[in-house]
Structures are given as C-alpha cells and as structure tokens.
Structure 1
Amino acid sequence: MPRPTVILPGYFASADDYQILAEQLRGLGIPTAVVPLRKSSWIPTLGGRSIVPILREIDRTVCEMLIRHDASEVDLVGHSAGGWIGRIYLGEKPYCIHGDVTEDTPGLWNARSRIRSLVCLGTPHTSQEYWTRRNLDFVNDNYPGAFYPDVRYLCVAGKSVFGRRRLGGGQWLAYNSYQLTCGEANTWGDGITPIAAAHLTGAENITLEEVWHSPRSPGRWYGSEDVVPLWSSFLLDSVG
C-alpha cells in the first residue's frame, strides 16, 4: 500500500485550494491530507520573517498521518513555497535564523527519518527578492540540491509562459516574477516560477508542457485532473 502523503500549500494559499488534488490522490489509493492552513496562517511570515508557524502545522499533520495509518514514513508534496519549506522541515540544521526558537525546539526540523520523498510542484528554489532570500539562502546553503541520498526528490516545472515585457497571456507578470526569482526574465516557466528555479541538482526533474502555476491560473495547473498522473506515479513508484 502507498505511504500516506501530506500536501504543503503554497505561499498565502489555504488548504481548501488543494482538496480536489487530495481527492485525486486518494482515488489512486494514496492516503492524503492537506496541512490545514488558512490564508491568515501566513500573515506572521510576511516580509521574509520566520516560517516557524508553518513548520508547526506541517509537523502536526505529519505526526497525525503517521499515527492514523500506522506508518513510519510519509511522502511530502509541496506546491510553490511549500517545496522549499519542506526542505527546511527535512533538514537537521536548527532553523534559528530569526531568533524566535532555540536549537532544542522540537518538531520543526530534522524530520528526515519520517519523510521518504519530497515532491516539489512549481517550487522557486532560488530567489533574488530581498525579503525571501534570508530563508532561501538558509535552505540552499545548508541543503544544496537533492541533499539527502536516502530521500527521493522530484521537482516538477511547468512550461506555459515565456517571460516578455508584453501585455497579455500572463507574459508581463511572468517577466517580473522570473526576474525576481532567478535573475532571468526572458525564459520559460509556469507563469510564476521559471523552469531554472523549479529544478534541483540531483533530483528527478521533469518539465510539463502547458502547465501553469496555481489553481487560479487561466490554464491547467499541477493539480489538474489530466496533469496529476504525470507526476503522481512517483509516489506509487517510491513504495518499498
């Protein structure tokens, strides 16, 4: 039987945005829960502040799924920022860079023994933004690439919008978002995250044509009915 899966919402997204995705995974026989975040859950993290409140909710959900399904490990599926936040949760380095917790605070990191695989959907693993670099630099300085050899990493990028300084088709938004994320505006991505930032060295990296960033995008996104099978097989293949 597949391991339980926990979905980590993207930045300022709520758990409600991922219920259809969770139902699709359950339909494949994968026990699935979404970290029960609300949009307001993200307010304390604004301006690049600590994501400890999110880590607490992740750990609570993971522990509940382990108990409920009598499992020793879960798979994490992180959408957008949920992917790099999942990398903090996996890692053994104390996430104390904001001074709001101490090195011996339990349940916020070093969860590697409970995580079998991490799936990142449209995750920006790099950033040029001043207000997010502190957190992402912590991740990439301490856990570069697919850091843990005993954890399976899958990074999924969408290729739907080429960034241009042109109105229409999401190109202007993509241009600015790609520039802030990877420093290159004229490139392909999912309308928010450029492909170059969505892939990790050493991970299993795939790019999906005509896939947009989020459920609110104008086209198919990572959780669309015909897109989920293109990456969810990873969760089934990782059994064992």
Structure 2
Amino acid sequence: MPLPTVILPGYLAGAIDYREMQQTLIDLGIPAVTVPLVKRDWLPTLGGRSVLPILDKLDRTVQEIRQTYNTEKINLIGHSAGGWISRIYLGAKAYDIHGRVSDRVYSWQAHQFVSTLITLGTPQTSYERWTLKNLNFVNLTYPGAFYPEVKYVCIAGKSIFGVRRVGSWLAYSSYQLTGGRGDTWGDGITPIEAAHLEGAENLTYENVSHSPRSRGKWYGSAEIVQQWATYLN
C-alpha cells in the first residue's frame, strides 16, 4: 500500500483550494489529507514573522495520519511556501530566529518519518525582505536536499516568461524578487531556477501555472498530479 500523504497549502491558501489535488491522489490509491488551514491561519505570519502556527498545524496533521494508518513513514507535499516550511519541519535545529516563548516546540526532526518531500512551485530562494529571514534560516541550516534519507522532488512550472508589459508584469516582478532576474521562465510566480534544489530530483512541467486560481493547468490539476504522484513510492 502506498504511504499516506500530507499536503501543506501555500501562503494565504486554505485546504479548500487543494480538494482536487487530494481527491486525485485518493483516486490513485494514495491515502491523502490536507493540513486543515484557512486563510486567517496565515495572518500571524504576515510581514516575515514566525511560521510556527503553520508548523504546529502541519505536525498535528502528520501525527494524526501516522496514527490513523499505523505507519512510521509518510510522504509530504508542499505547495509554494508550503515547500520551504516543510524543509523547516524536516529539520533538527531549533527554529527560534524570531525568539522563543515557553511551552512551544521549535524542532520537529520530521526527517525521521518523511519518506519523500515533493515541493510544487516553491520559492526556495528570495530577495524579498519580508521572506528573507525565514528563507535564510532554511537555506543556511538545511541547504539543498539536506537529509539523505529523504527523497526530495522539486517541481517547477514553465508557463509565463517575465517581461515588462501588461499581462506579464506580475510574473516579471515576482521572478525578480524571488530569483533576482525578471526576464526568465516560470509558473507566473516562481521562476524555474528558484523552484529547484541542489541534490534534489528537479523537474520542470510545461504549461503549468502556480495557483489553483490560474487559468489552465496548475500543479493540482488532475493530469499534473498523476505525473508527479509517480514519485510517491
């Protein structure tokens, strides 16, 4: 039986946006649940603040699914910011860059029970000042495909080339903030280069956009899920 899989939504997204992704995995015979987030759960993280509220909900969901299926290992899917937050979750070093308060967990060491981490359109780098503190922690503490016992699969979309004109300006600006260069290919939010990690299985899917509200296909469209689900061994 395939390992159960947990889906972590992207920034400001709720579980409702991942219903098709989750159901497609279930239809493929892969038990799947989405971390039960709603948009307001992200509000305490705005402005580059700590993502502890999201990590706490992620850990509760992971432990519940491990108990439900009586399994040591699970697979983890992180869309957009959910990908780098998942990399924090895997780690053994305390995530305390925003200061500590009592009775909180700051290190989850989930590399022990995550078999495969798939990131979808995740900005693994950023020059944007609000996200720089968190991403610097991730990339300096856990560079690349850090844990050899975890299979890292990083998927980028190639649907929009960033140029300074109407219809592509958002992509250009987002690519520049994320990867340092606007005139490149990406999924409309994350440039291809920024979505990949050294040492990971790095893939690029043609005509795939970033958001569940994008026109056309995105990472959670059924035909795209069927492609990356083959890595969930």
Same fold (TM over 0.5): yes
Counterpart CA distance in 2 for 1:65 and 1:99 is 30
Matched, 1:182 2:190: no
Taking the TM superposition and a 5 Å limit, the aligned residue runs for 1:136-155 are 136-155=135-154
Matched, 1:37 2:37: yes
> What's the CA shift string for 1:172-206, capped at 9, x where partnerless?
11000000001010000000000010000000000
> What's the CA shift string for 1:20-63, capped at 9, x where partnerless?
11000001111100000000000000000000000000000000
Counterpart CA distance in 1 for 2:174 and 2:141 is 25
Q: Give the match for residue 197 of structure 2.
A: 200
Residue 124 of structure 1 and its aligned partner are, at CA, apart by 0.2
> What's the CA shift string for 1:56-103, capped at 9, x where partnerless?
00000000000000110110000000000000000001000101346x
Counterpart CA distance in 1 for 2:35 and 2:77 is 10
Counterpart CA distance in 1 for 2:73 and 2:101 is 26
Counterpart CA distance in 2 for 1:101 and 1:30 is 38
Q: Is the 8 A contact 1:52 1:108 kept in 2?
A: no
- Count of residue correspondences: 233
Q: Give the match for residue 112 of structure 1.
A: 111
Counterpart CA distance in 1 for 2:207 and 2:107 is 36
Q: Give the match for residue 159 of structure 2.
A: 160
- Runs of 4+ residues deviating >3 angstroms: 104-108
Taking the TM superposition and a 5 Å limit, the aligned residue runs for 1:89-128 are 89-101=89-101, 105-106=104-105, 108-128=107-127
| Partner SS for 2:42 | helix
Residue 109 of structure 1 and its aligned partner are, at CA, apart by 2.3
Note the residue ranges of structure 1 that are not aligned, 5 or more in a row. none
Counterpart CA distance in 2 for 1:135 and 1:107 is 14
Matched, 1:230 2:200: no
| Partner SS for 1:77 | strand
Residue 214 of structure 1 and its aligned partner are, at CA, apart by 1.0
Counterpart CA distance in 1 for 2:95 and 2:34 is 23
Q: Give the match for residue 58 of structure 2.
A: 58
> What's the CA shift string for 1:110-129, capped at 9, x where partnerless?
11112111000000000001
Counterpart CA distance in 2 for 1:214 and 1:133 is 22
Q: Is the 8 A contact 2:8 2:35 kept in 1?
A: yes
| Partner SS for 2:222 | coil
Counterpart CA distance in 2 for 1:176 and 1:109 is 34
Alignment CA distance shift 1:185-1:78 (3 Å): same
Q: Is the 8 A contact 1:56 1:107 kept in 2?
A: no
My pick for the range that moved more, 188-197 or 93-102, is 93-102
Alignment CA distance shift 1:101-1:144 (3 Å): farther
Counterpart CA distance in 1 for 2:130 and 2:108 is 22
Q: Give the match for residue 78 of structure 1.
A: 78
Alignment CA distance shift 1:92-1:58 (3 Å): same
**TM-score, scaled relative to structure 1:** 0.95
Question: Cα RMSD over matched residues?
Answer: 1.2
Q: Give the match for residue 49 of structure 1.
A: 49
Residue 108 of structure 1 and its aligned partner are, at CA, apart by 4.7
Note the residue ranges of structure 2 that are not aligned, 5 or more in a row. none
